[in-house]
A and B are shown apart, each in its own frame.
Chain A
Amino acid sequence: MTAAGSPALDTAARPTGGGRRLSLSWLGVVPFFAYVGVFLLLPTAIIVIGSLTASGGGVSLANFAGINKPYMVKAFTLSLSVSGVSALAGAFFGAVFAYAVVTGNPNGLLRRSIMSASGVLAQFGGVALAFAFIATISTVGFVTVFLKDHGIDIYPNGVWLYDAPGITLIYVYFQIPLMVLVFLPALDGIRPQWREATESLGGSTWHYWHYVAGPLLAPAFLGCTLLLFANAFSAYATISALLTNGGTYVPLQVQALLTSETEQSQPGLAQALALAMILIVVIVMTLYALLQRRTTRWLR
């Protein structure tokens, strides 16, 4: 999962003193950059080079042409739509939830426990999450079986858990807590005085939301939604554990292209797909960064 940039961090590091000669403080970040280099930049470079290499050697765009097949296009459509819907649903419910929390006591037990729970649940993805859903609402899950015993069949037309609606539902499970975590600082930035000012000038609640809070929160809300989108789009382990067979999502297509034992192994095409995913995430995260900059202009 991508770590959320927090506005609070911007004020944390202020230079103390100045004009010293030959500071060695940069040594402290060497491990960080070494780590990023080995685990982020190097793999990205390998993917870029691999995707541009033809199967017989030499530079070629043939791998990207391979994406232009109906089943690949479908994989992208499905991945994008599931990520989009789960991001919108997560953003909406997460924002409402965060607002409920922020209106309470800032040091209260409710807020502290919800923040901790969100911190845990936002990271609750992958195999554990897939297993949780299999154990509860798959065909043999205990909730399914319990409801069936009481005359309710949640799968009258087949198991939708493995289709787009099911995947979206599972993703929303970690999207909502993530939204609470990343949207709460923005809500905290809204000062009660602004509402009081609106009211003393004769504004109604609608006026307040429409002219003051809405425009202030919109960039933060959109930015957080984009973050949620990127979060869902790059998720792999959950769907891999759930859809062991023939999942039409881009990360699973990459997996199939790398592990085929039926002569369909195409590492070059797999790397081209991975690069396409990286580009999409880069675009989304750039937009997120721009919106985040706009957000911090008012909400500090």
Chain B
Amino acid sequence: MKWSSPVRQLGLAVVAFLLVAACGSSPGTSASCNAKTATSATDCGGMSGLVTAAKAEGTLNVIALPPDWANYGAVIAGFTAKYGIPVNSINPNGSSQDEVNAFDGTSNAPDVVDVGQAVALANTAKFAPYKVATWNDIPAGAKEATGLWFNDYGGYMGIGYDSTKVPGGVINSVADLLGSGFKSKVALSGDPTKSNQGLNGVIMAGVANGGSLDDVSKGVAFFKQLKQAGNYVPVVGTAATVKAGQTPVLFEWDYLSTSHGKDVSSWKIFVPSNAIIGGYYSQAINKAAPHPAAARLWEEYLYSDAGQNLWLKGGARPVRMAAMVTAGTIDTAAAAALPAVNGTPQVPTGDQTSKASAYVVANWSAAVS
């Protein structure tokens, strides 16, 4: 956060410089394409028209994209290398809510956002509808029908663990965690009464123990058993607690959990085959984007095979993954590096998440304290 101000200043300077440069060199290029209202590349005269318009705008504002999160550093570099459009990355460590809060109508506002599902659903009035060329590859449940938001990448709720600290060096089922070898070791990566990630950890434990997305009570009961066995640690797992060894077994999104490997070389991730709970982030375009064409070109790039494979290299599962596997365009090496998952993924709907949340809030404290 403390960097955001200097970054903004620098960003403004860059934007100002480029605006001057753009105006000087190519006046009136965007006349052929009204990018602000374009709902697909066709509205801008196809990809070439969109590229021309985006280059005329000269820059792209993005927000809250840490370079080591889902490989965004390489994605941004790839976009600039391909189209010659510099990317102004604001407040890389912001939250989903920070992203939408930055829609201030200035030339410095983010053109595009990458937000969690709850924030996407709550802010559709601020987004512009757009369908990328590969729109049909995105599963129906993973996008808003007109393109106000569409899932980009995600992963599954997994159990990350330090294999040197668990009995036998491997976890084969969620029920294993109740064993005496897991004394004071199991943690969540968020408070389930208020954090989406923590809540999905409980949902996953519930599904693995005979519950369903509609019935999270089994998950709460499981953590109650964990607590009674003395295995549950009421500490939110982070990179720091994993490194210190406070949370050697941690419920976490698999694509975030992989990053602990650089601190703990024996870190492994287990995704139970009977409870593959998916969670996705979404892309959306700012309705008042200062660079509407660049924003749309960015989306085209993200949903191209190249963009999707870059996310995959970062350990995140791109939303077009199934289609790309079928088409044979997936980066097979990166796909093979993902935690092994056998079974059918389930993604909780907004309603299911709300119901689970209400149940957890009412029953969590009785279960774990």
Contact = CB atoms under 8 A, between A and B. Distances in A.
B246 A256 contact: no
B357 A263 contact: yes
Interface residues of B, number: 41
Interface in B105-135: 116, 118
B235 A244 contact: yes
A159 B362 CA distance: 24
Interface size class of A (residues with CB under 8 A): 20 to 34
A246 B184 contact: no
B151 to A, nearest CB: 18
A256 B191 contact: yes
Nearest to B223: A246
Contacts, number: 100
Contacts of B357: 262-264
Contact of A246 (B234, B246, B358): B234
B239 to A, nearest CB: 14
A85 to B, nearest CB: 16
A262 B365 contact: no
A149 interface: no
A82 B76 CA distance: 52
B230 A261 contact: no
A159 B186 CA distance: 11
Contacts of A162: 233-235
A248 B118 CA distance: 26
B246 A262 contact: no
A32 B100 CA distance: 40
A262 B195 contact: yes
Contacts of B236: 244-245
A138 interface: yes
B369 A248 contact: yes
Interface in B178-233: 183-185, 187-188, 190-196, 198-199, 227, 229-233
Interface string A232-267: 000000000001111110000000100111111000
B354 interface: yes
Nearest to A75: B365
A139 B246 contact: yes
A262 B364 contact: no
B368 interface: yes
A264 B358 contact: yes
Given A248-B369, A263-B357, A264-B361, A243 B234 contact: yes
A139 to B, nearest CB: 5
B40 to A, nearest CB: 32
A159 B366 contact: no
Given A158-B183, A261-B195, A262-B199, A74 B365 contact: yes
B12 interface: no
Contacts of B235: 162, 243-245
A248 B364 CA distance: 9
Given A159-B184, A246-B369, A261 B118 contact: yes
Contacts of A75: 365
Contacts of A259: 194
Contacts of A260: 193-194
A69 interface: yes
B234 A69 contact: no
B230 A246 contact: no
A140 interface: yes
A261 B195 CA distance: 6
A290 to B, nearest CB: 35
Given A158-B231, A247-B234, 8 more contacts: A70-B362, A71-B365, A159-B233, A245-B190, A245-B234, A246-B193, A261-B194, A261-B195
24 contacts: A74-B369, A134-B246, A138-B246, A139-B233, A140-B244, A158-B184, A159-B184, A159-B233, A162-B233, A162-B234, A162-B235, A244-B234, A244-B235, A245-B190, A247-B234, A248-B365, A256-B194, A259-B194, A260-B194, A261-B116, A262-B118, A262-B192, A262-B196, A264-B357
Interface of A: 69-71, 74-75, 78, 134, 138-140, 155-159, 162-163, 243-248, 256, 259-264
